[in-house]
Structure 1
Amino acid sequence: MAKYGAPYVPYFALAFFCLVGAGSLALIYPLFVGTLFGSIFSPDKPSALAPLLAVVSGLLNRLFPGYQLSPLDPVLALLTGILVVQSVLSFGRTYLLNYVGEKLVADVRRDLYRHLLSLDVTFFANRRTGELTSRIASDVTAIQNSVTLSLAEAMRQVIVFTGGTAFLFWIDWRLACLLLALIPVLVVSFAFFGRNIRRRSTRVQDALAEATAILEETIAGIRTVQSFAREPYEVNRYETHITRSLREALGRALARGLFNAAIVFVLFGGFVGLLWYSGNQVLAGKLTAEQLIQFLFYAAWVGGALGTLAEYYGEFNQTIGASRRVVELFETKPAICDRQDAQPAQPVSGLVEVKDVHFTYPGRTEPALDGITITARPGEVIALVGPSGAGKSTLISLLPRFYDVTSGAICVDGRDVRAWKLADLRSNIGIVPQETTLFSGTVYDNIAYGKLDATPDEVERAAQAAHAHAFITGFPQGYQTIVGERGVKLSGGQRQRIAIARALLKNPRILILDEATSSLDSESERYVQEALDVLMEGRTTFVIAHRLSTVQRATRIVVMAHGRIIEEGTHQDLLAREGMYKKLYKLQFRDVPEWILQEEAGARGAAPQLQVARTALP
């Protein structure tokens, strides 16, 4: 974390100068207060500040000739001048430290977010969104408060304590030694209570992160929660972690309360003892009234500084707990990243070779893929079919390197995908998933996400090709319509067509369609399928489908089960065999007369309508 402060060292230095200046000037006040009381109660005794006050008196006489100065006027004038300078320095200290703190924390948030986006999908599969949100928001905010507010005040108190102690020794070294004898007791208290506060602070942040994760999940799935009437269950889940957080926070508050109580008892007990001892010194004639007032003021300031430092010590321990969680994220290394010898992409033709690929998900023992070999030439459409859990989605997740193969290789244009730069590889792959992800912006923004520098005409053409233009222009705000979080304001079919428009705008050489038309009604499905036909032209395409009517025109159909390829061929070839494909086909179309299938196929020149398959399902 120290690297974030390096660019702001000049600001820190200037702020420290203002801090030292303001703190040093503040240390002068007890001297003048003592002098003031000495002038009132012992006017016949010379003050230690008499030479300085004489200079100030001379200046006042020149500025205000004829004015009769009282003994207190030079003291007041000097204090006023010091106050003006101190105010300017205090402003500089406060502004500069807040400026540095805000900039530093913004840098941390920005880099932490960038680092999170660089991590692989395995990391996010093992973390909940609310937990990560809590770390970026709550934990970094805790660091921000310490940097922008507490650090400046703590440094000021250090100056007050150091300078005040020096003045105490200057006034009477014996009394100063008595006061400093309290410090070992305070140090032991710091060490004893500090560990407890740090430990509990970390547990508080962990419990809050869990509660935030539950909150995020519940809000995201509010329709599911309400449809199952699980509000009491979710409230109980949330309250469990809030209660744990409360318990740890109360334990931390107890530790801090005991810590502060111990500090107050030691400091004020010591102050009472000093008052008794110094009062006897005055009565014995070993201290003047001026020295006594100065010493008591400095003793109060030093004690107050120690007490304040004790409070900030507890707060910094809380910050350490939060910063550890942030550092833990920074220290997490992505499992999927560019190799040192990764080369930029050349123009991609779209040749994809899957060579004896085996893959097992992290933390599992059962392989998800077991010796898959497929070659997809440029422009071919490869359909992946099979029962759920066959490994279809796993296979296409390896192509853009969401995961890396356990053994074997996947090559694009003859080069292992692990030798590509990730950004180049993924920029040549377009994915239209079954569960569409839209961002909470406008329709235009979501389509333009496929090509950030796209012109409005390009965005509109992509929407027209995806048959989304008509319903978009039907909205009052058109392309500037807000889609809501995750596109909640749109229907499933509308979301899917926007996702297809986004992929069309990206114009990739390799296309992955994962049940891309599953959310569409029959009419929209026809239009979108035609748009996809145009999109697939000349591109290497992988189509995952459970409904076999969507894959009959594929160049080649690959039937998978249990992570293996059990059949491969064209639709007609596979129907001619007594294999799994034919069984799946008969299961889906067993109640559909053959003449309907033929008529539908003839109407489109290919596969029957998906709606037919949908109604045919048992």
Structure 2
Amino acid sequence: MADDSSFPSSSSSALPTRLWTTVRRILRLAWPYRWRLGGAVLATALGAMVALVVPLGLRELLNAVFETANRALLDRLTLGLLVLFVLQALFSFLGRYGLEWTGERVVTDLRKRLYAHLHGQSLRFFANRRTGDLTSRLTNDVSSVRDAVTQALAESFTQVLSLVGSVALMIVLNWRLSLIIFVVVPVVTAAAIGFGRWIRRLARTLQDELADTTAIAEESIAGIRTVKGFARSAYETSRYHEAVERLFDTAHRKVWASALFSALVGFLFFGALVAIFWYGGLEVLAGRLTTGDLVAFIFYAFNIARSVGGLSRLYSTLNSAAGASERIFQLLDEPATDTDPSGMPALPPINGAVAFDHVTFAYDPGTPVLHDLSFAVPAGQTVALVGPSGAGKTTLMSLIPRFYDPQSGSIRVDATDIRSVTRQSLREQLAVVSQDVHLFNDTIRANICYGNLDASDAAIEDAARAANAHGFIAALDDGYEAAVGERGVKLSGGQRQRIAIARALLRDARILLLDEATSALDAESEAEVQDALTRLMESRTTFVIAHRLATVQDADRILVLDDGRLVQDGTHDELRTQPGLYQRLADLQFREGSDASASP
């Protein structure tokens, strides 16, 4: 962390190039709204030009009072200044509104684009990243782009215009007096570059640490039952506090750097103003400058000070925004791995036959999890996947919806290689019920109809009845409109499973994937869920993962996996009589069950 926050050295010379590369990418985000943005910049620029005329008006007004004592001219000049102020206010409103609108529009578009990009990534992508970090990029980092669009990019143009215009008019008024400003501006520019690099690195570190803090909080809150169950609230609180303190430490250094820079700029320019007062007074006394000229000159000096100070703040803002934007662009530059090439055909309606042909798969290259698997499942057959933990059962099932693709071999559905059709069309004809049911923080109705968003109320209720869920739903105060809470926390495990089964029934898919759907339930809940599963499995090709063999005895076929290899294939009765892994597992489980039932 020290390297990120230390004052920049010569190794930082590459930063301006990276900064402007990031700036160009931010500008491209605003390109669809270039006319509105251009109009806003033009309005702001016109306001800046009006502001440049104001000191000249004040000069004439003061000269009218002190030099000519002309009352009529004084009245006309006062009215003219009032008109200038009205125009400046109008242009300021139009410019600010246009800039803010563009910034919010860019942020909205970027959030939608980033969120869609995340949904185009595979499960492998999410397995390697923390949810809190992704959430932070989607919220905190994206908001930083708004500052870049509304302030650092657009306002810098008007600040430069004000700076250049003020310098030009100062030279016209008195070139000798202008030399004082010309000494200060290069010093401030050099300081801005150095401090800007420093602040940019601190901003990047700050966003990373904010993402870490968000991830810690999100993980702890999501796992609050585990936290409280192991009495680890104090530990999680301490962990979060440490992360927040690290965040504060970096934020403190960033604030310190920005404050130091602003103070330095202010000191240089106010020192220059003192020099201008002194030398300008000498020029008035010598008769080379009128009182009005001196006042106008001082106003332009203030304009320059404000413009340079504004540009320095904008440069700091731009560096901060660029630091956060880099994290967004880093994510957007990740190739989408769960999307299909354009023009790929959709999978036609299927019967449900599934075949694995010499399939080998590895999460990490060189370490296969599945080895040369080959088997064929006719449509409508129920297949149980059995084996010890780590045998590859869940991985095998994850290949069917193309959550992952095998390194070699092929998987076919009704003789169609699933890699030759779109993922969407494949997954629309599958339904998944897992042990860890995910319910959205919405109503029961919304969670059931997630299986078919166009389902009627009658179809939703029919699916709930078939899943043995209508009874407990009807007993709730709000019935189908009852909220289930975060991840379904307001429902029991058995109730959540039955909601998931109703969702799968409503989908009416030809292929059904059941991953330990009853293993975490008590006997009564398991009986109700199993009864619902039996209805769900009728006439569907079903893959069932189960560690308890008693739940798969009636399967049409059992595939026994060990260390990623298919070691046995047959019915329960066939495998029960064959020496091998299934027989050992069955002997162990049924003996334990018999011992348990015989114990007092």
The alignment's TM-score, normalised by the length of structure 1, stands at 0.89
SS in structure 1 at match of 2:398:
helix
- 1:467 aligned partner, one-letter code: N
Q: Which residue of 1 aligns with 2:574?
A: 573
Q: Which residue of 2 aligns with 1:251?
A: 253
* Residues 456 and 306 (structure 1), Cα distance of their counterparts in 2 relative to 1, 3 Å cut: same
Q: Which residue of 2 aligns with 1:12?
A: 37
Q: Which residue of 2 aligns with 1:610?
A: none
**Deviations 1:83-122, CA, capped at 9 Å, x for gaps:** 2222222221121111111111100111111111111111
Q: How far 1:153 sits from its partner (Å)?
A: 4.5
Q: How does 1:148-547 map to 2 (within 5 A)?
A: 148=150, 151=153, 153-339=155-341, 342-362=344-364, 365-547=366-548
Q: How far 1:614 sits from its partner (Å)?
A: 8.8
Which moved further from structure 2: 3-12 or 559-568? 3-12
- 1:26 aligned partner, one-letter code: A
* Residues 468 and 283 (structure 1), Cα distance of their counterparts in 2 relative to 1, 3 Å cut: same
Q: How far 1:70 sits from its partner (Å)?
A: 4.1
Q: Which residue of 1 aligns with 2:108?
A: 106
Which moved further from structure 2: 282-291 or 336-345? 336-345
- 1:78 aligned partner, one-letter code: G
- Is the 1:34–1:290 contact (alpha carbons within 8 Å) kept by the matching residues of 2? yes
- 1:142 aligned partner, one-letter code: S
- Is the 2:41–2:155 contact (alpha carbons within 8 Å) kept by the matching residues of 1? no
- 1:84 aligned partner, one-letter code: V
Which moved further from structure 2: 314-323 or 279-288? 279-288
- Is the 1:496–1:520 contact (alpha carbons within 8 Å) kept by the matching residues of 2? no
Q: How far 1:151 sits from its partner (Å)?
A: 4.9
Quote the Cα distance in structure 2 between the aligned partners of 1:83 and 1:304. 18
Q: How far 1:267 sits from its partner (Å)?
A: 1.6
**Deviations 1:212-263, CA, capped at 9 Å, x for gaps:** 1000001011121112111222122222222222222222222222222221
Quote the Cα distance in structure 1 between the aligned partners of 2:89 and 2:78. 16
Which moved further from structure 2: 243-252 or 152-161? 152-161
Computed over aligned residues only, the root mean square deviation of the Cα atoms, in angstroms, reads: 2.1
- Is the 2:61–2:78 contact (alpha carbons within 8 Å) kept by the matching residues of 1? no
- Is the 1:496–1:519 contact (alpha carbons within 8 Å) kept by the matching residues of 2? no
**Deviations 1:393-439, CA, capped at 9 Å, x for gaps:** 01011111111112111111222221110101111111101100000
Q: How does 1:36-51 map to 2 (within 5 A)?
A: 36-43=61-68
Match of 1:74 among 57, 73, 76: 76
- Give the percent of matched residue pairs that are identical in Structure 1 and Structure 2: 44
- Is the 2:498–2:532 contact (alpha carbons within 8 Å) kept by the matching residues of 1? no
Is the radius of gyration larger for structure 1 or structure 2?
1
- Is the 1:429–1:508 contact (alpha carbons within 8 Å) kept by the matching residues of 2? yes
Q: Which residue of 2 aligns with 1:596?
A: none
- 1:3 aligned partner, one-letter code: R
* Residues 614 and 561 (structure 1), Cα distance of their counterparts in 2 relative to 1, 3 Å cut: farther
Q: Which residue of 2 aligns with 1:585?
A: 586
Quote the Cα distance in structure 2 between the aligned partners of 1:289 and 1:396. 87
Q: Which residue of 2 aligns with 1:121?
A: 123
Which moved further from structure 2: 178-187 or 468-477? 178-187
Quote the Cα distance in structure 2 between the aligned partners of 1:254 and 1:205. 17
Quote the Cα distance in structure 1 between the aligned partners of 2:233 and 2:478. 35
- 2:569 aligned partner, one-letter code: E
SS in structure 2 at match of 1:517:
coil
Quote the Cα distance in structure 1 between the aligned partners of 2:321 and 2:439. 36
- Is the 2:461–2:470 contact (alpha carbons within 8 Å) kept by the matching residues of 1? yes
SS in structure 2 at match of 1:423:
helix
1:142 equivalenced with 2:167 (yes/no): no
- Is the 1:432–1:499 contact (alpha carbons within 8 Å) kept by the matching residues of 2? yes
Quote the Cα distance in structure 2 between the aligned partners of 1:438 and 1:140. 28
1:24 equivalenced with 2:49 (yes/no): yes
1:33 equivalenced with 2:58 (yes/no): yes
* Residues 538 and 340 (structure 1), Cα distance of their counterparts in 2 relative to 1, 3 Å cut: same
Q: Which residue of 1 aligns with 2:17?
A: none
- 1:34 aligned partner, one-letter code: R
Quote the Cα distance in structure 2 between the aligned partners of 1:399 and 1:462. 25
Q: Which residue of 1 aligns with 2:28?
A: 3
Quote the Cα distance in structure 1 between the aligned partners of 2:466 and 2:419. 34
**Deviations 1:304-339, CA, capped at 9 Å, x for gaps:** 211122112112111110000011111111233314
Quote the Cα distance in structure 2 between the aligned partners of 1:330 and 1:615. 58
Q: Which residue of 2 aligns with 1:609?
A: none
- 2:328 aligned partner, one-letter code: V
Quote the Cα distance in structure 2 between the aligned partners of 1:552 and 1:81. 90
- Is the 2:352–2:379 contact (alpha carbons within 8 Å) kept by the matching residues of 1? yes
- Is the 1:336–1:404 contact (alpha carbons within 8 Å) kept by the matching residues of 2? no
Quote the Cα distance in structure 1 between the aligned partners of 2:339 and 2:55. 62
The alignment's TM-score, normalised by the length of structure 2, stands at 0.92
Give the aligned length: 575
SS in structure 1 at match of 2:68:
coil
Q: How far 1:76 sits from its partner (Å)?
A: 1.4
Quote the Cα distance in structure 1 between the aligned partners of 2:63 and 2:142. 51
Which moved further from structure 2: 279-288 or 97-106? 279-288
Q: How far 1:19 sits from its partner (Å)?
A: 1.0
Unaligned runs of 5+ in 2: 1-25
Q: Which residue of 1 aligns with 2:11?
A: none
Quote the Cα distance in structure 2 between the aligned partners of 1:484 and 1:93. 44
SS in structure 2 at match of 1:430:
strand
Quote the Cα distance in structure 1 between the aligned partners of 2:463 and 2:182. 77
Quote the Cα distance in structure 1 between the aligned partners of 2:56 and 2:147. 34
Unaligned runs of 5+ in 1: 47-68, 594-612
Q: Which residue of 1 aligns with 2:554?
A: 553
Which moved further from structure 2: 580-589 or 569-578? 580-589
